[in-house]
Copies of this chain bind each other. A is one copy, B any other.
């Protein structure tokens, strides 16, 4: 795996990008091959079926989301702010993988639905652990999911919509957190010293 064939990665990149930008229906093997600069047969050599392409994307997703989860745990801002901030900022340009997988989930592909469900649960656990109030944790999670809702919408609709106000939004999150901690004793946070990378 140290130096796998480049065509494979290029095809997977192309697949993710077409999915994200144009939707599941546009992500045909022809389109992937054209964008990756290889032939259809070339793509099908590395990915014996179209589903294999989707499965490979899901593997990438698991790697990336595991790393994101660690970042969220160790961010000195705390999980809530990290979640809301990255919900918007990784949506802007980075992290095309999440949104590509989201498209597969929206197309009712069960493995993608399960994967999204799992990572959301993990994120939600961290936020709940930090704020210690169920309803407020729900509200914070929904704000982040609302940002994903925007980022998952095709077209130019939401480009930059929250760029000017993400800090104000984070201030609202702070206020929600503060209210939660003042009305009930929160879970201990951070649970221990974050590991140094």
Contacts and interface: CB of A to CB of B under 8 A. Distances in A.
B169 A139 contact: yes
A122 interface: no
B134 A168 contact: yes
A165 B106 contact: no
Contacts of A25: 24-25, 107
A154 B23 contact: no
Q: Place the interface of chain A in its size category.
A: 35 or more
Interface string A132-152: 001110110111111111101
A120 B55 CA distance: 34
B23 A135 contact: no
A55 to B, nearest CB: 18
Q: Which of A103, A141, A144, A149 has the most CB of B within 10 A?
A: A149
A153 B105 contact: yes
Contacts of A157: 113, 116-117
Contacts of A103: 106
A194 to B, nearest CB: 28
